[in-house]
Amino acid sequence: MLRPASAREAVGIGGARLRWRATTQAYRPEGRPLRRALITGITGQDGSYLAELLLGKGYEVHGIVRRSSSFNRHHIDHLHERAETAERLHLHYGDLGDGVGLTNLVRSITPHEVYNLAAQSHVAVSFEIPDYTGDVTGLGAIRLLEALRAAGTDARYYQASSSEMYGNTPPPQDETTIFHPRSPYAAAKVYAHHCSVNYREAYGMFTCNGILFNHESPRRGENFVTRKITRAVARIKAGVQSELVLGNLDARRDWGYAPEYVEAMWRMLQHDDPGDYVVATGDSYSVRDFCELAFAHAGLDWSDHVKTDVRYERPSEVPDLIGDPSKAARVLGWEPSVRTPALAAIMVDSDIQKVDEELHGRSSGRA
């Protein structure tokens, strides 16, 4: 379905334009089928890496972006700057709170694969805005599943499930471990996870849940703990910050590298059968350990700079997450290569470069 030209070309985004595609453009000129993917959360950490991965594989990628007063598309701007990716990347305004909008988008895009990565994704924030988090992170998934069902499409669906769903259940956690959510965010993710399973069982839809353990990168939001630490390391090294205030240093996480994790998402949707998969490294480090690794990489002693304050603690904490990714290795052939110490080094190096650019106006490569 083509939209009126005024609607198709209404708004520029970071020098590019919102483009609406006709279903007649589903095939490349040479007749080779072009796979279309729809990504919610394309402006986020995972969405941007997934868009890169899929464009690199020749997909036509459609991303849903929220309207905001200021542009926040810095993770995907570079994809618009390269001609070979720009022509296959299309952004559409939408919101997981708007079911009608999602249905219209699914009908007009007719995607082969849908990756639902959008969420209010911050656990601590979910205690402040539980109703909103439930609406977007939980109900948002069923709105999208319903949009797919209403469109009568056989698109494959990926749901971004989370290791937070295990909450208080002791490690190691795998696909059979029971959920014990410890935050409004985690409870919303459990709801979305079960909806995805239910639509598979009830309607025969190809739905997969990726139960991803924490994964980080230079594109991680600045208020998640790893990035908060690596950014502080860079600023302390540069002499523009002296201390870092954190909450619970004892919490343990299984931290992997985001670009590797989006590859697992894609592999799930290429398999013959839908299923649920844990994606993790199988290692665990405390927040204190991560501080030690990150500061040491910059030649600093973490204990000289890190302080704690209860204001960064949560009403209920998830103490220990260690994923068992053996099903993903066995069925999908997916294995991580970047472990937490190397991840900390990648993030510190990137933040040192960014702080240097901020302070001295130098421009360098993209993270």
Task: List residues with catalytic annotation.
Answer: 162, 164, 185
Amino acid at 255: W
According to CB under 6 A, which residues from 153 to 212 bind ligand G4F?
Answer: 162-164
308: Cβ contacts below 8 Å, ≥ 6 apart: 245, 246, 247, 248, 249
| CB < 8 Å & 24+ apart, contacts of 102-106 | 102/64, 102/143, 102/144, 102/147, 103/146, 103/147, 103/150, 103/151, 105/38, 105/62, 105/64, 105/147, 106/38, 106/144, 106/147, 106/148, 106/150, 106/151, 106/153, 106/155
Q: Which CB sits closer to ligand NAP, 44 or 259?
A: 44
The only residue of 21, 37, 38, 46 in contact with ligand NAP, by rule CB under 6 A: 46
Q: Pick from ligand NAP, ligand G4F, none: which does 312 bind, CB < 5 to 8 A by kind?
A: ligand G4F
Q: In the stretch 313-342, what mask flags binding to ligand G4F with x, by CB under 6 A?
A: -x--xx--x---------------------
Q: Pick from ligand G4F, ligand NAP, none: which does 246 bind, CB < 5 to 8 A by kind?
A: ligand G4F
The only residue of 85, 126, 162, 183 in contact with ligand NAP, by rule CB under 6 A: 162
Q: Minimal CA–CA distance to 92: which of 128, 65, 119? A: 65
Q: Pick from ligand G4F, ligand NAP, none: which does 316 bind, CB < 5 to 8 A by kind?
A: none
The only residue of 23, 25, 223, 242 in contact with ligand G4F, by rule CB under 6 A: 223
225 binds ligand G4F (CB under 6 A): yes
β-partners of residue 256 are: 215
Q: Pick from ligand G4F, ligand NAP, none: which does 303 bind, CB < 5 to 8 A by kind?
A: none
Number of residues counted as binding ligand NAP (CB under 6 A)? 26
How far is CA 47 from its chain centroid?
A: 5
Instruction: Answer yes or no: are the C-beta atoms of 23 and 108 closer than 8 Å.
Output: yes
Beta-sheet strands, E only, within 167-305: 207-212, 215-216, 244-246, 252-253, 256-257, 276-279, 285-286
Whole-angstrom distance, CA of residue 130 vs CA of residue 239: 38
288 CB-side CA count, 13 A: 8
The only residue of 20, 36, 44, 288 in contact with ligand NAP, by rule CB under 6 A: 44
Could you tell me which stretch among 91-99, 107-115, 288-296, 329-337 binds ligand NAP (CB under 6 A)? Answer: 91-99
Which tokens is 347 given?
Answer: 């993030």
Q: In the stretch 101-120, what mask flags binding to ligand NAP with x, by CB under 6 A?
A: ----------------xxxx
106: Cβ contacts below 8 Å, ≥ 6 apart: 38, 114, 144, 147, 148, 150, 151, 153, 155
132 binds ligand G4F (CB under 6 A): no
| Closest separation in Å from C-beta 312 to ligand NAP | 18
Chain residues that interact with ligand G4F, rule: CB under 6 A: 121, 123-124, 162-164, 213-214, 223-225, 228, 246-248, 251, 253, 287, 312, 314, 317-318, 321
Kindly list the residues in this chain that would bind ligand NAP in the complex (CB under 6 A): 40-41, 43-47, 64, 66, 68, 72, 95-97, 117-121, 136, 160, 162, 212, 214-215, 221
